[in-house]
Copies of this chain bind each other. A is one copy, B any other.
Amino acid sequence: MTQKTRQLGAVLYPGFEMLDYFGPLELFSVMGSDVVKIHTVAEKAGPVAAAIGSEGAVGPRVLADFGFEDAPVFDMLLVPGGAGTLSELENEAMLQFLHERCAEAEIVASVCTGSALLAKAGVLNGRRATSNKQVFALATMQSDRVEWVEQARWVEDGKFFTSSGVSAGMDMALEIIRKLWGEDSATTTASYTEYTWHRDAENDPFASDLNVLARQLGMA
């Protein structure tokens, strides 16, 4: 049986969070490039620096294969969070790219504050979604047309998968693998990466940290 190769657009921006991005990409990579072909994409092709904590884009640099203008069609989109989200919320090129590309994608996955970008781009209207717990207000203030879920490791609504902070993206990615390629693929991937998969989307050990950081930052 031949199987369609899905094209995954993994979105980069200055100050993205490393594990938001490379956690899910690690798990998708185990499937092999004939199953998921990973493409890195940013506003412009070239180097994009990761966040170091709240310091912004001063971390390791990853090369974007494509700019928004010349990127191919994507079946799947991955939108990470990170300190750089704040700037991207004001970046029309990013919001327009997400708006256009989410419409044509089969699966859209965000990690951490990545869902704030999706909400601002208007693609989560009428959907259930979650976000990083410590800065939950950053997501909720982007749209009151989203049903924000305060207690969830990740939330699935139609083609949209939004996860809680950083590490939660890996549990969400395994669920996407399970949906698209079956239970065995997901468990094999978890074993290969020696990852203890937290399978229950509603089991959220970090819900009690709600807005801990947002209050320090004067957001909530």
Contacts and interface: CB of A to CB of B under 8 A. Distances in A.
B33 A52 contact: yes
A29 B22 CA distance: 14
Contacts of A23: 19, 22-23
A30 B63 CA distance: 22
A60 interface: yes
Interface stretch (A86-94, A141-149, A187-195): A187-195
Contacts of A53: 29-33
B52 A38 contact: yes
A101 interface: no
A193 B209 contact: no
Interface stretch (A68-76, A102-110, A121-129, A163-171): A163-171
A60 B38 contact: yes
Interface of A: 10, 17-19, 21-23, 25-26, 29-33, 38, 40, 47, 50-53, 55, 58-63, 65, 132-134, 164-168, 191-196, 198, 205-206, 209, 213
